[in-house]
Amino acid sequence: MISTTVPVLQHRTVLLDEAVDALAIDGARANGTYIDGTFGRGGHSRLILSRLGSSGRLVAFDKDPEAIATAAQIVDARFAIVHDSFATMRTALAGRGIGQVDGILLDLGISSPQVDDAARGFSFRQDGPLDMRMDTTRGVSAAEWLATVPEQQLEKVIRDYGEERFAFQIAKAIVARRAIEPISGTRQLAGIVADAVKTREKGKDPATRTFQAIRIFVNQELEDLEAGLTAAFDMLAPGARLAVISFHSLEDRMVKQFLASKAKVEQPDRRLPIKAADLPQPQMKLIARLKPSVDEVAANPRARSAVLRVAERVKEAA
């Protein structure tokens, strides 16, 4: 039972039905094994469980201790939660005797409770400690990293991970301020960025891209995504599907390029005497690219940047 003394921060699962529908959990596959790579507050996991057969299995992953606590409320023998990144799925499932799975869902976004909880430090909307870690039990916080990072590296992170054209000015301002006082609060950092950015995008706070960049770096999100996509491909059984929801261009570009590389084959020289049956075959088939509906974006503005990409592991030739 959730204590009434603790505020419950609501989370709307983006592309809930579309993502779970994409896994095609039906027929014999209803008794298969599935992975929810980011449990969050359990929206996707609960819907997957509702579609599984009695002998189906679902293994979910999350770095966030609060997500793990929420997952502990699910009492279902078919469900297991792993307190780690989905990048570790191959090792984690091998320990459970699982080598292949029938579907994998990766939701790359951070949850609304994480953003709305000032104590987590993900947002500058409210003042809070500059933490930004998905897993608050391990690793270096954003404040600790900003205290020592060399200016050139900071500029590179803000430019590459935030796609921020004022990265040089922002990095210079942060390093200058930390020489005077520690940078430990979200509003403090947002103010430094605002002073350094002379022109602003309409409707966007000048600190948005910098906060995104630091969060991505602190949590090694792109490294996890690269490792997770490779592991997911290796674990998919023939005919199984991979569904990935991304929320910014860096993630979506990586997902798009990875899936495209698996769906494409190098064509041999047509002049060579090669039988059609011996021609190289794609390893995956691209199924869909979906965006949230107008109604979903109206109900949940944070969904507006979401992109769902779906691909299927090609069945091996007979």
DSSP 236-288: EEEEEEEEEEE-SHHHHHHHHHHHHHHH--PPPPTTS---GGGS---SEEEEE
Per DSSP, the three-state class of 224 is helix
Which residue in this structure is represented by tokens 């906060």? 211
- Interatomic CA distance for residues 69 and 3, integer angstroms: 13
114 annotated as belonging to a binding site for a ligand: yes
53 annotated as belonging to a binding site for a ligand: no
83 annotated as belonging to a binding site for a ligand: no
- Interatomic CA distance for residues 187 and 129, integer angstroms: 9
List the structure tokens of 34. 């599935």
42 annotated as belonging to a binding site for a ligand: yes
Q: Count how many Cα atoms sit within 13 Å of the Cα of residue 71 in the half-sphere of its side chain.
A: 26
Residues 6+ apart with CB under 8 A from 5: none
CB 170 within 8 A of CB 210: yes
Give the chain's radius of gyration (CA, Å): 21
86 annotated as belonging to a binding site for a ligand: yes
Known binding site: residues? 42-44, 62, 86, 107, 114
Known binding site for S-adenosyl-L-methionine: residues? 42-44, 62, 86, 107, 114
